[in-house]
Amino acid sequence: MATPTTNMSVSHLHPTGSLAIADHRLPSGKEEVWRFTPVMDLIDMFDPNTERGHLAPAVGGQSGITLGRLAVGQGPRGDALLPVDRAAAIAAQVDSADYLLIDQAVAAPIQLDITGHGIDQPTADHLVIEAKPYSSATVVLHYRGHARHIGNVEVIVGESAQLTVVSIQEWDRPAVHLGQHEALIGPGSNYRHITVSLGGDLVRLTNNVSYAGVGGEAQMLGVYFAQAGQHLEHRLFVDHNHPRGVSHVDYRGALQDRNSRSVWVGDVLIRPEAVGIETYEANKNLVLTDGCRVHAVPNLEIETGDIIGAGHSASTGRFDEEQLFYLMSRGISEAEARRLVVHGFFAAILNRISLPDVAETLMNRIDQELAFDKEIQS
């Protein structure tokens, strides 16, 4: 049983949100939330006066959904998402947000392909996904191409709805992608948020959930694979602001090559009113070569002891030479052995995702990168 470690009523780790851009000072890199990020490379991303385009999602032919647009202040836009940083505030101010409304059980995944066409034309988008009470769906956002993009995803999960949102960052280098994914979890609902970050020079996603009422379950899963020069950052914040919610956060990432960097920050706040909740967050990193940097920071703030359970763990391990030896001693080549171990490492998350297409996308990509790395070395 966990015991209270603080009696503060507001998380000191997580800034309070604001829609006003001016409320978010230009990051210097010294702020708690920006300290791992190379903000000097992002100056243009924080400039509200930059002319920004829109990355129109191509939506796979689906029935059972309604597509629309929402102006600033037009509900449900803004019901869930209050920007927590300057980039998110800029995207939250775009004139017209894409709106995806789900009001029944949709069996096939709803595919949104978002493709950037260049790094000269910065883009900002705000996407609102609303799952009406008792609806169910899986939405897959697949980002590709070249872009300097800020993309917010605001998710409203209605009572007893079942919603999975998958966000696949498969950008080309040297794309940059910032954004805030924010979900408001309805009572009795089941929300799964899955990030797969593979491409781009810099991806920094702030993935948050909070609860609209008593109960509701959030699962936040993620996998990432960082290579030379890539910065992949995932910041999670679970705000247990109501009783009897459940949250499970589980991220795994592998890194290879010089100057590959991953950041995982998992903040969980259990407010005094959040009695009877259950939370667990975990992050595991597998370092495949020298020259990788990993930051893994779990934070658990517990303001009530009257909960079912709370736990967290974060670990970073080097590729295990004993495993390599064991596999190779059975005749398996080094490349194949590495592939097996890396696949095995991700299997724990992929088995939970249980979306074969997503698993295949990840594994194919990883196989390519592992093979490519081998070529460079030899």
Partner 1 sequence: MTERCLEIRDLHVSVNTETGHKPILKGVDLTIRPGEVHAIMGPNGSGKSTLAYSIAGHPKYTITSGSVKLDGVELVGLSVDQRAKAGLFLAMQYPVEVSGVSVANFLRTAKTALDGQAPPLRGWASTVNDSLAKMQLDEEFAARSVNEGFSGGEKKRNEIVQLDVLNPKYAVLDETDSGLDIDALRVVSEGINRYTDQGDRGLLLITHYTRILRYVKPDFVHVFVDGRVVEAGGPELAESLEETGYERWLTARP
- Based on CB atoms, which residue is closest to partner 1, 108 or 335? 335
- Based on CB atoms, which residue is closest to partner 1, 292 or 341? 341
Site string for partner 1, 273-312 (x = CB under 8 A): ----------------------------------------
Min separation Cβ 367 and partner 1, Å? 14
Q: Does 341 bind partner 1 (CB under 8 A)?
A: yes
d(CA 236, CA 245): 16
Question: Which residues between 306 and 325 bind partner 1 (CB under 8 A)?
Answer: 320-323, 325
Among 228, 348, 355, 363, binds partner 1 (CB under 8 A): 348
- Based on CB atoms, which residue is closest to partner 1, 97 or 341? 341
Taken in order 57, 62, 63, 65, the sign of the CA dihedral is negative
Among 143, 191, 237, 346, binds partner 1 (CB under 8 A): 346
324: helix, strand or coil: helix
Q: From the centroid of its chain, how far is CA 322? A: 32
For the beta carbon of residue 42, count every other beta carbon within 10 angstroms. 20
- Based on CB atoms, which residue is closest to partner 1, 49 or 329? 329
Q: Does 326 bind partner 1 (CB under 8 A)?
A: yes
Among 131, 168, 218, 327, binds partner 1 (CB under 8 A): 327
Angle between helices 356-377 and 334-353 (to 10 degrees): 160
Q: What is the DSSP string of 81-112?
A: ----SHHHHHHHT-SEEEEEEE-SB--SPEEE
Q: Classify the phi-psi angles of 215: left when phi > 0, otherwise alpha if psi is within -120 to 50, otherwise beta.
A: left
Min separation Cβ 340 and partner 1, Å? 5
Among 99, 171, 251, 345, binds partner 1 (CB under 8 A): 345
Among 336, 357, 360, 372, binds partner 1 (CB under 8 A): 336
Which position has the token pair 């993009």? 149
Give 342-373 as a 3 state SS string.
HHHHHHHHHHHHCCHHHHHHHHHHHHHHHHHH
Q: Does 334 bind partner 1 (CB under 8 A)?
A: yes
Min separation Cβ 351 and partner 1, Å? 9
d(CA 347, CA 17): 35
Task: Tell me which residues touch partner 1 (CB under 8 A).
Answer: 320-323, 325-334, 336-337, 340-341, 343-348
